[in-house]
Structure 1
């Protein structure tokens, strides 16, 4: 069984993800929800009134945190 944790966060810099085999897409700056599992992270945000999600590997998420592009908590 995989454990998950949900956290409020904020996109504060360049954060990108790849949808399938398509190009890299940018997540806009602003508030988001982070659902963390053991080896991956799902980001959820609202853009144009729609709720969007992106899954990224945990190692990429950790890099975004270290770079300050994702800030945990609201603020």
Structure 2
């Protein structure tokens, strides 16, 4: 069984994801929600009134946290 945790966060720097086999897409700076599982992270944010979602590997998420591009909590 996989455990998940939901956290409020903020995109504070360059964060990108790949949609399928397409190009890297940028997540805009601002508030987001994070759903963490054991090996992946799902980010949800709003852009132009639309809710968008991206999944990234946990190792990439950890790098974004370390670099300060994703800040946990709201601020």
Range class of TM-score, shorter chain = over 0.9
Aligned residues: CA RMSD: 0.1
Shift of 1:15: 0.1
The number of residue pairs the alignment matches comes to: 75
Output the TM-score relative to the length of structure 2. 1.00
Q: C-alpha separation between the residues in 2 aligned to 1:40 and 1:11?
A: 17
Deviation at residue 26 of structure 1 after TM alignment:
0.1
TM score, norm. by length of structure 1: 1.00
- Show structure 1 runs of 4+ deviating over 4 A: none
Residues 5-64 of structure 1: per-residue CA shift (max 9 Å, x gap):
000000000000000000000000000000000000000000000000000000000000
Name the SS for the 1:13 alignment partner.
coil
What are structure 2's unaligned runs of at least 5 residues? Answer: none
